[in-house]
Amino acid sequence: MHPERKILLVVNPVSGGTAKDEIFNIAIARSKIEPFELLIYQTTGVEDLEAIGHLVSTQQPERVIVAGGDGTIGMVARTLAQTEAIMGIIPAGSANGLSVDFALPTSFEEAFDIALGSHVIAMDAVDINGDICLHLGDIGLNALLVKNYEMNDSRGKIGYAKEMLKTLSEHNNFRVQIDYPEGRLETEALIVIIANGAKYGTGVNINPKGSISDGFFELVIARRLNFIESAKILTGSTDFDPDILQIVSTKSAHLVCPDHGVHFQIDGEYKGEVKELRIEIIEKYVHVAVPAPHP
């Protein structure tokens, strides 16, 4: 008997610099046990969004499981936006920031258990100049790091650390004006993070106030590097020195960099230099299978 359930597996074969054979083998084995009809799509970097969207609309899978980093996950989420289909995540990128936020296991077997499981949330997204951000976007220091990482075709955490040292020597602060419904800020900044989630893929909790499904995003404005304020973030404190670091929770914002363009990235993908960002929360953007909360 042909199974009625359809599950689409989307795999980025180059993400994380590792082979994906284990992922394919697990998916095929699960499809025979569950059972379900398994559809597989491997990204190529050419018109992937359109191809995945076509598969979703014509095949109507009940779930789409993504094996890749934040960029691949974000692309798939766009094809599932405001539908009843569920997205599952297999952490298979270099940093896996969204997966870290969800506390997904690094074991592919365990990640499949969750991706096929029954605990599902409706997560928000952030519209930034018409692009969709599921996790973290930013202007400044980290965006330059993402650019350097992409340009040098680095892979893995060692490559990331090497590019961080280079980026710290290149980056300069910038002026930014931020208007949001609750107020206005004008400041010099090292980085401004647009945070739907809480953690970078390294595990650093950059946004202790954040929740990925609370109807708000946070602007994390760091004016300079400071060990004490960084330690507060790592320990989950929100009692920051406002001269060094400030966090604003809001539903919309307008950022302007009056002097020059500033490096900008969304979910680990470099977008170029920008002088202006218009930002809006999109509530309950996509359904995602996540670990069940501990009792």
Model pLDDT for residues 84-129, shown as the tens digit of each residue:
999 999 998 877 788 888 999 999 999 999 999 999 999 999 999 9
Query: Residue 195 — φ and ψ, nearest 5°?
Result: -115, 110
Token output for 103: 């506390």
pTM of the full structure: 0.84
In CATH, what is the architecture of 6-118? 3-Layer(aba) Sandwich (3.40)
Q: In this model, does residue 2 exceed pLDDT 90?
A: no
SS (HEC) of the chain: CCCCCEEEEEECCCHHHCCCHHHHHHHHHHHHHCCCEEEEEECCCCCHHHHHHHHHHHHCCCEEEEEECHHHHHHHHHHHCCCCCEEEEEECCCCCHHHHHCCCCCCHHHHHHHHCCCCEEEEEEEEECCEEECCEEEEEHHHHHHHHHHHCCCCHHHHHHHHHHHHHHHCCCEEEEEEECCEEEEEEECEEEEECCCECCCCCECCCCCCCCCCCEEEEEECCCCHHHHHHHHCCCCCCCCCCEEEEEECEEEEECCCCCEEEEECCEEEEEECEEEEEEEEEEEEEECCCCCC
Q: Do domains 6-118 and 131-283 have the same CATH topology?
A: no
Each residue's pLDDT tens digit, 62-82: 999 999 988 899 999 999 998
Q: In this model, does residue 152 exceed pLDDT 90?
A: no
| C-alpha span between 263 and 141 (Å, rounded) | 8
More confident residue, 245 or 282: 282
What's the chain's length in residues?
295
More confident residue, 48 or 153: 48
pLDDT of residue 231: 46
pLDDT of residue 186: 95
Q: In this model, does residue 212 exceed pLDDT 70?
A: yes
Q: Tokens 């980025």 sit at which residue?
A: 12
Which residues in 208-217 are b (16+ Cβ under 10 Å) and which e? bebbbeeebb
Q: Which residues contact 91 (CB under 8 A, 6 or more apart)?
A: 99, 100, 104, 105, 106, 111
pLDDT of residue 232: 46
pLDDT exceeding 70 applies to what percent of the chain?
Answer: 83
Query: Residue 11 — φ and ψ, nearest 5°?
Result: -120, 130
* Cα four-point dihedral sign 29, 32, 35, 40: positive
pLDDT of residue 229: 47
Average pLDDT, the chain: 86
Cα–Cα–Cα angle for 237, 241, 244, rounded to 5 degrees = 110
Token output for 245: 């670091």
- For the chain, give every domain's residue range: 6-118, 131-283
pLDDT tier, 167 (very low <50, low <70, confident <90, very high otherwise): low
Lowest mean pLDDT among 20-24, 85-89, 115-119, 145-149: 145-149
pLDDT tier, 17 (very low <50, low <70, confident <90, very high otherwise): confident
More confident residue, 273 or 202: 273
Number of C-beta neighbours around residue 106 at 10 A: 12
Token output for 280: 């809006």
32-35 contact pairs (CB < 8 A, 24+): 34/3, 34/5, 34/116, 35/3, 35/5
pLDDT of residue 107: 94
CATH top class, domain 131-283: mainly beta
